Amino acid sequence: MSVKQYTLAEVAKHNKEDDAWIVVHDKVYNITPFLEGHPGGKRILLQVAGQDATKQFVQFHNLNAIPVLTKYKKLVVGEVKGVTPASQEDPESATFGNMIAFADPVWYQGWSTPFYKDSHRRLRAWARNLVETELMPYCFEWDTAGQVPKSVARKFGEVGFLAGLAGMTPWPSEYAPCPPPCGIKPEEWDVFHELVLGDELSRIGSAGIGASFSLGPSIALPPVVHFGSPQMKKKVVRDVLAGIKFIALAITEPHAGSDVASITTTATKSADGSHYILNGEKKWITNGVWADYFVVAARTGGPGMGGISLFLLERDGGALGPASTEGFASRPIKCQGNSGSGTAYLTMENVRVPAENIIGKLNNGFKCIMSNFNHERLGICVNAVRYARVCFEDAYKWAQVRRTFGQKLFDHGVIRNKLGHMARQIEATQAWLDFIVYQLSEIKDPQEAMIKLGGPLALLKAQCTVTLEYCAREATQILGGVGYTRGGQGERVERIYRDVRGMAIPGGSEEIMLDLGIRQAAKVSQLMGAKL
């Protein structure tokens, strides 16, 4: 269907309150029905009625204009005559994105890479289009409401996005609702494909919205996949990957966070041996407000790490046999950031769970949890590096349009200095992340991966979140008031600033990660025969 074209002279005729058109990025918009609903008032729009308002739009709207323009695409009536339509980017092109240095990983800008191939290039284009269409236009609305429609999970599930984040390589054809995207062969699916999905998802600049539908498959489902019974996997995995059901990881307690071995929730076997009776509390459980399934850590033995087991708890009592979730409750927790993630406080009072709902072996839950940490921390690292890039990108764009003391912000040396420090940290961190992901792809033995990469991943997690915190602060300084205001030009940076602690604390706080990384390195050094 051909798009109607207008000259600027024709657009200029529509300059009244009852007939107002504007041009933005060569698209012609009929803004008449939007005048009364414009957040800044109709007078601002009427001042540019009949004109090309691209400059004013860029000045007063989100630095990433896609959300606004996508949301109001129904107002488009045509294009400016004589403008060559923007061609679709070649999904296999060596270059991709806006070409702003450091706003995307360097392989997006044509740099040679040993890690990313044509399938990864196709996947990034597919993921970017999906995220920019289905998420970006609504992030501010969902963040403000603190809730994401459940239909989002279903959408991302049915196209295979959630299956791609579950840490399963090759592609989990047995459980996934569809084949891999973009014609990628199931046997070709690797950890770098998962990294691309996580990276592109994080461009929305919201930990909470992303976590609302992606965190369950990423951190709560793997214990079921790797240690659950065939019956359990058959019941749970496919529905979660399809976005039909939600699953939450319930480890942390009010008095036991990174110190998992100190949890106090108990699971006592019933007299007839058919059930375990759970009693205890869990806190800061992402997706806990609405999750259908919970992977619960509870004490079944003595103190310390050797007495912990994992259980699958089903909210509606269906479980894998006769059960009742009477005595189970969840309530939302208001946090500094992660809005929309459904963070919850759970209470369990004599909650009966069928004995066959144990995940793995009795009193072996700690090992299951530890094996899951590498994947959880990797996901946090991917998110944090992209959030840091978003901060750089939006600060850089603002520095090019904001003028102070007669010149662009970018022309002030102090601003370039800030951008330089942000860029060097982002690129160094990304290089380390890619290297660690490559090691994960090469090491096939999970036990070897835990021994070799547990420490480096802990240090990488600290590096990523420290980098993020630095970039969030410096970007906010560059953006000034717009970076302190919810919505508008600084929307993504303001939101990320609130989410920083939600990156730095979950999965192991920076302090504990740094200590763990060095302790693990010392142990590996001894195993390797280090001469000390």
pTM above 0.85, yes or no: yes
CB 501 within 8 A of CB 336: yes
End-to-end distance of the chain based on CA atoms, in angstroms?
Answer: 74
Cα-Cα-Cα-Cα torsion 49, 55, 60, 64, nearest 10 degrees, comes to 120
**Residue 97 backbone zone (phi > 0: left; psi -120 to 50: alpha; other: beta):** left
Report the pLDDT averaged over residues 341-360.
95
Taking the C-alpha atoms of residue 36 and residue 148, their distance in angstroms, rounded to an integer, is 27
Task: Report the share of the chain in percent with pLDDT over 70.
Answer: 95
Strands 275-285 and 293-299: unpaired
CA neighbor of 260 nearest in space, from 365, 141, 335, 105:
365
State the residue for tokens 């102070």. Answer: 404
Return the SS3 of 287.
coil
Taking the C-alpha atoms of residue 228 and residue 235, their distance in angstroms, rounded to an integer, is 11
Question: Two tokens at 346?
Answer: 């759970």
What does the DSSP 8-state code read for residue 109? B
Question: Two tokens at 384?
Answer: 């944090």
503-524 confidence digits (pLDDT tens): 999 999 999 999 999 999 999 9
Per-residue pLDDT at 324: 43
**Residue 340 backbone zone (phi > 0: left; psi -120 to 50: alpha; other: beta):** left
CB 275 within 8 A of CB 281: no
CB 469 within 8 A of CB 504: yes
Report the pLDDT averaged over residues 76-83.
86
Report the pLDDT averaged over residues 281-287.
96
Taking the C-alpha atoms of residue 61 and residue 68, their distance in angstroms, rounded to an integer, is 8
**489 φ, ψ to 5°?**
-60, -35
381-395 confidence digits (pLDDT tens): 999 999 999 999 999
Q: How many CA atoms lie within 13 A of 163 on its CB side?
A: 27
Per-residue pLDDT at 323: 39
